[in-house]
């Protein structure tokens, strides 16, 4: 029982980190957009700040740029 609880606790931590990372990505893109930056500048910021590949950063921008 204790092992199962520890596993659930660890899964929750990972899920929380993932959610916070996505919120950070959304926030960075929103800030670039609010400062009249281009989508390409947002992609470059994601690459620099989150160490994403160009493809992954472009996917995130496509997903969140309009939000």
57, 46 contact by CB (below 8 A):
yes
User: What mean pLDDT is predicted for residues 4-11?
Assistant: 75
Q: Which of 66, 42, 64, 38 is nearest to 54 (CA)?
A: 42
The sign of the CA dihedral 65, 57, 46, 60 is positive
Q: What is the pTM of this model?
A: 0.81
Residue 65 near residue 32 (C-beta atoms within 8 A): no
Q: Are 25 and 46 in contact (CB under 8 A)?
A: yes
Whether residue 3 has pLDDT greater than 90: no
Query: Is a pLDDT exceeding 80 seen at residue 38?
Result: yes
């Amino acid at each position: 029982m204790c092992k199962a609880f520890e596993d659930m606790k660890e899964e929750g931590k990972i899920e929380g980190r993932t959610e916070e990372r996505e919120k950070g990505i959304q926030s960075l893109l929103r800030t670039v957009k609010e400062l009249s930056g281009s989508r390409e500048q947002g992609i470059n910021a994601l690459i620099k700040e989150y160490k994403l590949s160009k493809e992954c950063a472009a996917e995130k921008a496509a997903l969140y740029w309009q939000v």
